[in-house]
Chain A
């Protein structure tokens, strides 16, 4: 067995009893904190007839009401805030749905625990203070860049805060400063691999040893390709802005699932239709409770990710529960190039721009990068006999879509009634990516 390193060994390899003890203690405090400070959730608890005293152990969590994305939208921006704004030091935000974004707040303690989780992920991928960690997730509102950046600092790596894009510069810094760990979306990692080959580099020419890739679905086949093209071991990482960001769970050397940092985030698998908690090993919707976050303390947040949890002993020595790669979504959200895309956002843009809401989204993957094409049915009012004007309409729609979605789709105007309909209902999304090989 290869030598294992942990960022916080006492907690990462704690006994099951110790973890439950921590969870029992934290959930009691957290439910009290939320009930006293978050009016929105207090009302949900009151409606359900649950009082903070009813939650004595972590098992009692199933008595609590769920939170969904709809709650987050309704409570926007401050409705779920668990502390005074003066105690908050940061916000992060998701890509937004139907014009309303989810904004998550952080106290300094929240930032610390999030960065610690990311540090655990980096150490699990072999990171030490001798490493050069190149972070090319986007920086800014997106949690990818700030999360891994903070984790890298905590581990003591030399951090390259590259953000995404400008591949030529990424490669120059990677080669000149001898990056050893690469953090980005898997599709961007694949693209960097191809770009390195195009520039005449062989996999052994770079100094990379590991990559930490997440924020979008990827396959085992993609993992193998990235590992081969970059000459590294590729690790998966999972997270969501609602709970903190990347680092909610991460892969270890065994690469058979991601350890959830369950001293901070309690995971449940529920039946998406009934809300009933399912036993270990069942496939269902993943639900997270933040056990000790102060500013944005979500209890029983439904992720919509379909997943399986396992407590099978892991060869890495970590004792925390493992989750599989999400196997799908219990709603219609698409993840394209790491960005959440909802068909409803596209519909909003079309209506705003004077089109009928007749459209079709085609998601595919070309050269390891997600592509998104939107076929939009043309209405007579939008049609001009001039090619340039019709093409300008396509460009204008692409611009409006980019603003709404955060990624740039290709828009194709199509004749009315040409969007494929099955049994009278329009087929809105065609996802051609083969994700579960």
Chain B
């Protein structure tokens, strides 16, 4: 089921009020966990903080003490640094009828380049499409 291509993302339920985010970030910093990518989806009442970190298990254990945390498989697809790169990925997904729940961009490192994190309804299908189109993905080891 394409476990090798997917990476682990932590989703944290956060209240929409000052200081909440800082506490989470601080507790990760104290444990020397590196945040590789993040995004926040917010509503009036709450937000969902999505994190890709250097040590998912450790981060989950730490954050679970005070927060509701869930681990989700997402795909990190490589984006070449040129116009139309994202468009190519989305076109391929569209043709295969793969629905994207949400996505966000990040730079893994200077060497690894730019990536887009994709949360889709069917990881296996998405991985196949990316592979067929010659688009590289990151695995947990690279993170």
Closest to A389 in B: B101
Q: Cβ of B15: which chain A residues have Cβ within 8 Å of it?
A: 414-415, 418
Which residues of B, 11-62, contact A by the 8 Å Cβ criterion? 11, 13-15, 41, 43, 45-46, 48, 50
Name B68's contact: one of A386, A387, A416 (CB within 8 Å). Answer: A416
A383-B11 in contact (CB<8A): yes
Cα of A380 to Cα of B43 in the assembled complex, Å:
19
Find the B residue at minimum CB distance from A377.
Answer: B68
Q: Is B9 a contact of A385 with CB atoms below 8 Å?
A: yes
Chain A residue contacts of B50, Cβ below 8 A: 385
- A72 contacts chain B at the CB level, 8 A cutoff: no
Nearest opposing residue in chain B for A383, CB measure: B68
User: Are B48 and A417 in contact (CB-based, < 8 A)?
Assistant: no
Q: Tell which of A385, A390, A418 has the most Cβ of chain B within 10 Å.
A: A385
With beta carbons under 8 angstroms apart, the residue of B48, B67, B69 that contacts A390 is B48
Residue pair B14, A415 in contact (C-beta under 8 Å): yes
B48 to chain A, nearest CB (A): 6
Tell which of A391, A415, A418 touches B43, judged by Cβ atoms closer than 8 Å: A391
- B80 at interface by CB-CB < 8 Å: no
Whether the Cβ atoms of B68 and A379 lie closer than 8 Å is yes
The answer to whether A413 has its CB under 8 Å from any CB of chain B is: yes
Q: Smallest CB-CB separation from A379: which chain B residue?
A: B68
Asked if B66 lies at the interface with its beta carbon under 8 angstroms from chain A, I say yes
What distance in Å separates the Cβ of B30 from its nearest Cβ neighbour in chain A?
20
* Residues of A contacting B: mostly: loop
Interface residues in B66-122 (C-beta closer than 8 Å to A): 66-70, 72, 101-102, 119
The answer to whether A413 and B46 touch (CB under 8 A), given A383-B11, A386-B101, A387-B41, is yes
Residues in B neighbouring A413, C-beta threshold 8 A: 13, 45-46
Q: Bound complex: CA of A387 vs CA of B15, how far in Å? A: 13
The answer to whether A412 touches B13, judged by C-beta atoms less than 8 angstroms apart, is no
Inter-subunit contact B66/A378 (CB<8 Å): no
Measured between beta carbons, the chain B residues less than 8 angstroms from A56 are none
A415 to B48, CA, bound (A): 11
CA of A251 to CA of B7, assembled, Å: 70
Instruction: Closest B residue to A385 by CB, please name it.
Output: B11
Closest partner residue, chain B, to A375 (CB atom): B45
A380 and B102 form a contact (CB under 8 A): no
Contact with B along A393-423 (1 / 0, CB 8 A): 0100000000000000000111111100000
Contact yes or no, A385 B119, CB < 8 A: yes
Residues in chain B near residue A219, CB distance under 8 A: none
**Interface on B for A, CB 8 Å cutoff?**
9, 11, 13-15, 41, 43, 45-46, 48, 50, 64, 66-70, 72, 101-102, 119
A to B CB contacts below 8 Å, 24 in the list: A378-B13, A380-B64, A380-B68, A380-B69, A383-B69, A383-B70, A384-B70, A385-B48, A385-B70, A385-B72, A386-B119, A387-B41, A387-B43, A387-B48, A390-B13, A391-B43, A412-B46, A413-B45, A413-B46, A414-B45, A415-B67, A416-B66, A416-B67, A417-B66
The list of the 9 closest CB pairs from A to B, nearest first, reads A385-B11, A383-B68, A387-B41, A385-B72, A412-B45, A378-B68, A380-B68, A383-B70, A383-B13
